[in-house]
Amino acid sequence: MLVASGGPTASQSIAGANVAPLAQRAPVHLSVNFTAFYVIPIYWAMEKGYFQKAGLDIQLELAQVPSTTPPRLARGDLDIADTPARPALFNATNEGFNTKLISSLTELKPDRTANVWLMVDKDKPNPFNNIADLKGKTIEAGVEGGPLDFVVIAALQQAGLTAGKDVTVSHRAKSPVDTIPLAKAKQYDAIAIPEPVATQVESQGIAVRWKSDAQLIPWYQALLLAASDQFLQKNRAAAVKFLEVYLATAREINASNGIWNNDVLAVTAKQTSIPADVLKKMGGVPYSEPNGNVSMDSLKRVQDTWVQLGLVAKPVDLNQIVDTGPLQDALKNIGTAKTQ
């Protein structure tokens, strides 16, 4: 049973009721980006005690420097973490570390909150209809090898443009907040900015949102759940149970059809410190793939791009970094759901 349109309320605990508890309680050291609005199902499950009911003691860490997550997973310092497919993910495998992708997180949809926006100067008439019009222009893409960089590079590739040849791509912003002074300086024809900073920049009248990642590269699976190999080896049952709770809760949140429920809005604002009015301006509630399927096509495209740019020395067998076993076991226990 899923919640009717409008989303879960404080009196409903559908996900928790659907997941049988572990025979023996287990801790899970979980890390997510400190502004990770896209892990709403995890926040909701924590708030409503779903993980606790399932026998999991979640030790949540809010990562201030997400780029350090892959090596910490590889060392076993973390059990589970959110991650984009950064070069470090592939490079760690090449170096003999065994971080595994175990589930997807959000799926890009035009009517939901985007992860990344290309923004343009609010004071100039936008001369661009599509990405191809950026030929000969300058784009700021944040940290090289980061999620912003990938969105820019992939969008240019789809438009038949080559970074460094047809378009000047710079990497001056070392963090999301660095994009604010760069946008104010008006030194770029377009600048890639992640949410929630994109909405805040637009609200301050600095720049306007033009193209989202969902519009530019809808096939891109931007965010995934990764687990340390040590955790999967030592406590696979806990990993499976974590996925059961996560997926059951994701389906519960998806039932809102993208409409912010006051309870979900309040929980998300509390966990991320993003003001509720900003969350609503960002767009609809992020959509989660209800079966956690990891797109091998998206992973291949991402890896090919990093190899082409020289950020990954050699391609890895993607089956080495994706472990579908825990996900399949979780789905056996809670059933599969229809995607939207």
Please give the Cα distance from 122 to 207 (Å, whole number). 5
- Helix and strand numbers (H, E) in the chain are 15, 12
The tens digit of pLDDT for each residue in 82-98 reads 999 999 889 988 888 88
- With residue 100 as reference, give the H or E element that holds it: strand 99-104
Residue 334, CB half-sphere, CA atoms under 13 Å: how many?
34
**Percent over 70 (pLDDT), the chain:** 94
Mean pLDDT on 296-322? 95
CB-based burial label for 237 (10 Å; 0-12, 13-18, 19+): middle
Q: With H, G, I as helix, E, B as strand and everything else as coil, classify residue 299.
A: helix
Mean pLDDT on 254-278? 94
> Tell me, what's the pLDDT at 285?
96
Long-range contacts of 120-125 (CB under 8 A, 24+ apart): 120/189, 120/190, 120/191, 120/207, 120/208, 120/210, 121/186, 121/207, 121/208, 122/202, 122/205, 122/206, 122/207, 122/208, 123/186
| Cis bond before residue 196 (omega within 30° of 0) | yes
> Tell me, what's the pLDDT at 15?
61
Mean of all residue pLDDT scores within the chain: 90
> Tell me, what's the pLDDT at 7?
41
Strands 224-228 and 99-104: antiparallel
pLDDT band at 125 (very low <50, low <70, confident <90, very high): low
> Tell me, what's the pLDDT at 12?
43
- With residue 224 as reference, give the H or E element that holds it: strand 224-228
Residue ranges of domains in the chain, CATH in brackets: 14-108+221-334 (3.40.190.10), 116-216 (3.40.190.10)
> Tell me, what's the pLDDT at 16?
59
Strands 26-33 and 106-107: unpaired
Nearest to 79 by CA among 311, 249, 187, 238: 238
In DSSP terms, 117 is beta-bridged to 193, 212
Instruction: Report angle CA 140, 192, 272 to the nearest 5 degrees.
Output: 135
The tens digit of pLDDT for each residue in 15-60 reads 655 788 999 999 999 999 888 899 999 999 999 999 999 999 999 9
Question: What radius of gyration, in Å, describes the C-alpha atoms of the chain?
Answer: 20
